[in-house]
């Protein structure tokens, strides 16, 4: 007597392929998640470093502006003019050059 069991091997093979496929998908998803987290952590570190550099640049910029305002203060300019022997001309005569 012959016992016929149709599609038994096909069903088992399909289940094996499906399990292997899902395993690959889960492993791939885990790898992508770890890679993405690593990149995000690196970017957060870079952002923090750049924020510190921006703060230092703002401080340096404020110092430079203070120096500029101190040098161009009218009282200091008058002191420099007096030191160099310059006098204020009330009626200056302007010379214009034409091209």
For the chain, which ranges sit under pLDDT 70?
Answer: 1-11, 99
**Residue 9: what pLDDT?**
64
**Residue 13: what pLDDT?**
83
**Residue 42: what pLDDT?**
97
Q: What is the DSSP string of the chain?
A: -----TTHHHHHHHHHHHHHHHHHHHHHHHHHHHHHHHHHHHHHHHHHHHHHHHHHHHHHHHHHHHHHHHHT-HHHHHHHHHHHT----SS--------
- What pTM was computed for the model? 0.56
**Residue 55: what pLDDT?**
97
| pLDDT tens-digit map of 11-30 | 678 888 999 999 999 999 99
């Amino acid at each position: 007597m012959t016992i016929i069991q149709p599609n038994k091997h096909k069903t088992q093979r399909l289940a094996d392929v499906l399990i292997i496929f899902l395993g690959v998908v889960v492993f791939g998803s885990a790898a992508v998640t770890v890679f993405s987290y690593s990149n995000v952590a690196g970017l957060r570190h870079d952002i923090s470093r750049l924020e510190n550099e921006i703060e230092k640049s703002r401080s340096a910029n404020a110092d430079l502006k203070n120096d500029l305002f101190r040098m161009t203060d009218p009282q200091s300019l008058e002191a420099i003019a007096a030191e160099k022997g310059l006098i204020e001309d009330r009626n200056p005569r302007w010379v214009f050059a034409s091209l």
